[in-house]
Amino acid sequence: MNKLLKSLPEDARKKLKKKKQPSWTAPMLATLTDERFSDPDWIFERKLDGERVLVFRQGNRVRLLSRNRKLLNNTYPELVDAYRNQPDGSFIVDGEVVAFQGRITSFSRLQGRMKLTDPEEARKSRIAIYHYLFDLLFLDGYAITQLPLRHRKMLLRKALKFHGPLRFSAHRSGKGEKFYKKACKAGLEGVIAKNADSEYVHSRSRDWLKFKCVNEQEVVIGGYTDPKGSRVGFGAMLVGYIVAAN
């Protein structure tokens, strides 16, 4: 057991499972919800608009796999390099590959990279990509999926070096509603709420929830027009909205 795992509290170390690193493991998926809440036992991450990618590293062997088990090494060769240059060890990490349009992640821009399957062409692409990591599933011979999320995030932060295209997905604790409003105001896609004590399961779960930003507008109903043609009742609703003064 490496020093990082030994540094865990005793009750957490008991949940570690020594095993052979699997060649594949299904990702945990979030459940869409209309709930918006704050809770000190939950953490909140910004929702990224990209491609889910799990990384399996054993020695110098690195495999990037989509949630549908598609091998993506040739599409994102700079990520393969970045993971090969990590300190010695084996691990499985989970995250989202994104491209930016300004300060916002853009799936349409990322599609310009997703269609490339020649590594040299991908390297020459002017579409820079980044891998935002938010979970660690396996480390140096131990499955850590049964650890609480708060411990997995701590291990992830310390186990890898984040530079170049690799990014640690930061989170906020407790203040989910405030973070959600701020994310929507900034034009982000939304927020992922995660139970900080939850295990990593290989299916969709309500321990991970999606708060998606939606476009809303308060309007005043002023009336309606008479029906025309084959319509009955009324024709169209007349609405108005307040425009802020400059």
Tell the CATH topology of 3-212: D-amino Acid Aminotransferase; Chain A, domain 1 (3.30.470)
pLDDT tens-digit readout, 32-88: 999 999 999 999 999 999 999 999 999 989 999 999 999 999 999 999 999 999 988
Distance CA 220, CA 238 (A): 9
Residue the block writes with tokens 């088990």: 69
Sign of the dihedral through C-alpha 57, 105, 193, 212: negative
Let me know if 47 is a catalytic residue. yes
Query: What is the CA angle 42-46-51, rounded to 5?
Result: 120
CB 241 within 8 A of CB 220: yes
- Position 226 scores a pLDDT of 72
User: Pick from 176, 147, 171, 149: which is nearest to 40 by CA?
Assistant: 176
Residue the block writes with tokens 């025309």: 228
| Mean per-residue pLDDT, 235-243 | 60
Please tell me which residue in 17, 19, 47, 153 is annotated as part of the active site: 47
pLDDT tens-digit readout, 113-172: 999 999 999 999 999 999 999 999 999 999 999 999 999 999 999 999 999 999 999 999
Question: How is residue 190 annotated by DSSP?
Answer: E
Contacts of residue 47, defined as CB under 8 A and 6 or more positions apart, other chains included, come to 183, 188, 189, 190, 191, 192, 210, 211, 212
> Phi-psi bin for 28: left (phi > 0), alpha (psi -120 to 50), beta?
beta
- For the chain, the structural domain boundaries read 3-212
* Cβ-based burial of 94 (10 A; exposed 0-12, middle 13-18, buried ≥19): buried
> Rounded to two decimals, what is the model's pTM?
0.87
